[in-house]
Every structure is written in C-alpha cells, then in structure tokens.
C-alpha cells in the first residue's frame, strides 16, 4: 500500500516511476501525467507522447517545435521539475485513455 504523490489516494495498485534518480508513486496514469509530463514549450499542453526535443526543450509536435522561437512564454525546464501547476491541464488528453469498457 502506498499513497499517490499527487492526490494522496492510498491505493493497493499504485505504481512507482523512477525518473532522474527520484522515485514517484502514483495511483493512476492521470496523476503520473499531471506530475511528470513536460509542458510543450510553445502551446503549453502536456506532452505525453514522444514529443519533439529542440535545443533541450520539449514540444508536443513538429509544428510547435518550428515555432519555439516565437513565444518563450514560460521556462519549461522549471515547470517540469517538481512543480505541480495549480491550473488543470487542457482536458484534451484526459479522454484519450478512455476506451469502451
């Protein structure tokens, strides 16, 4: 039994993610994405796929990678470390994992 790092849910099927030498515990993938997925350096959405890395910055797609010089609105490296943004991410990905059950 372990509690989720994000929501604190004490769940018997939590899983651990080791990243950059630190271990995190989550009760579901949504919490893991919330905590660990980098933000696109251009549009700010969560990058949960392979993404595109340009000059050490992560982008969600080739389009955003091409425009990475346009609007350096936020420091992605800072955002992706350990911070949990208070604002909810765009809901576009939340429905992606739902399958017909």
Q: Which residues bind Zn ion (CB under 5 A)?
A: 4, 6-7, 9, 27, 31, 40, 42-43, 60, 64
Rounded to 10 degrees, what is the CA torsion of 48, 79, 85, 72? Answer: -90
Cα 72 to Cα 6, 21, 61, 95, distances in angstroms: 28, 28, 16, 28
Is the CB of 6 or the CB of 76 nearer to Zn ion? 6
- Taking the complex as a whole, the smallest distance from the CB of residue 24 to Zn ion amounts, in Å, to 10
Is the CB of 12 or the CB of 100 nearer to Zn ion? 12
- Taking the complex as a whole, the smallest distance from the CB of residue 60 to Zn ion amounts, in Å, to 4
- HSE-CB at 85 with a 13 A cutoff on CA atoms is 19
- Taking the complex as a whole, the smallest distance from the CB of residue 80 to Zn ion amounts, in Å, to 14
Is the CB of 83 or the CB of 100 nearer to Zn ion? 83
Is the CB of 42 or the CB of 57 nearer to Zn ion? 42
Q: Residue 32's CB: how many other CB atoms inside 10 A?
A: 21
């Amino acid at each position: 039994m372990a509690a989720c790092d994000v929501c604190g849910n004490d769940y018997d099927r939590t899983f651990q993610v080791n990243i950059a030498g630190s271990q995190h515990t989550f009760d579901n993938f949504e919490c893991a994405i919330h905590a660990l997925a980098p933000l696109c350096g251009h549009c700010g959405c969560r990058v949960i796929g392979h993404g595109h890395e340009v000059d050490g910055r992560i982008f969600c797609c080739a389009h955003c990678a091409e425009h990475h010089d346009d609007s350096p609105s936020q420091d992605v490296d800072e955002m992706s470390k350990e911070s949990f943004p208070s604002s909810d991410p765009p809901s576009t990905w939340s429905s992606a994992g739902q399958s017909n059950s």
